[in-house]
């Protein structure tokens, strides 16, 4: 183990000991989560130096890593979202203006936009990129890419109905 990792390892153990002592004193559940997060980080450091990465950890150690470690793919999801949206301002897109016009200049709820995208998917057999489902900007960018289908739906009588 390198000196840097050994230092991290020792530091995390010291912090975890402090949280365990605090939990024993207070009986607090919040410190339980903090202990779990630190234990997961310790097991991740340990996992780097094991010959067989997965099988050498115990079942409980793997469970703690799964439960308390942040997903490393979150950064990649953000990059994909940024690549899909770019520097687009959704309020300037034609699809946004069409939907505002259709809804008497009121901004529709996000659920309506999601249902509209699902309707377009079902009727025209479109493949929806997963980034298009994750944010308001992505919804309107997707609608803007398929503006012809949106216009066709409006011409066929697409309306907002409120219960």
10 pLDDT band, cuts 50/70/90, is confident
Which pLDDT tens digit goes with each residue over 124-160?
888 888 888 888 888 999 999 999 988 888 888 877 6
Number of domains forming the structure of the chain? 2
DSSP assignment of 102-150 equals HTTT-PPPHHHHHHHHHHHHHHHTPPPPGGGGS-HHHHHHHHHHTHHHH
Report d(CA 21, CA 80) in Å as an integer: 42
The mean predicted confidence, pLDDT, of the chain is 78
Structure tokens at 79: 């990059």
Residue 30 covered by a domain: yes
Same domain, 16 and 35: yes
Q: Which domain holds residue 84?
A: 75-155
Same domain, 25 and 89: no
- Which of 70, 92, 111 terminates a domain? The answer is 70
Which pLDDT tens digit goes with each residue over 68-92?
776 666 777 778 888 888 888 889 9
Same domain, 141 and 107: yes
- Which of 11, 36, 70 terminates a domain? The answer is 70
Same domain, 134 and 114: yes
42 or 98, which is more confident: 98
31 pLDDT band, cuts 50/70/90, is low
Report d(CA 133, CA 91) in Å as an integer: 17
Same domain, 98 and 134: yes
Same domain, 84 and 57: no
Same domain, 83 and 64: no
Give pLDDT, residue 94: 92
């Amino acid at each position: 183990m390198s000196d840097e990792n050994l230092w991290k390892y020792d530091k995390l153990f010291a912090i975890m000991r402090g949280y365990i002592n605090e939990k024993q004193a207070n009986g607090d559940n919040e410190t339980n989560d903090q202990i779990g997060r630190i234990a997961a980080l310790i097991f991740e450091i340990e996992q780097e130096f094991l010959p067989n990465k997965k099988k050498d950890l115990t079942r409980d150690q793997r469970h703690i890593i799964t439960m308390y470690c942040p997903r490393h793919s979150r950064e990649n999801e953000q990059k994909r979202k940024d690549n899909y949206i770019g520097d687009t301002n959704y309020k300037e897109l034609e699809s946004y203006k069409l939907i505002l016009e259709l809804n008497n200049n009121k901004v529709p709820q996000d659920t309506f936009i999601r249902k509209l995208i699902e309707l377009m998917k079902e009727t025209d057999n479109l493949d929806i990129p997963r980034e298009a489902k994750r944010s308001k900007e992505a919804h309107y960018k997707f609608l803007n890419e398929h503006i012809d289908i949106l216009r066709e739906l409006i011409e066929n009588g697409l309306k907002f109905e409120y219960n």
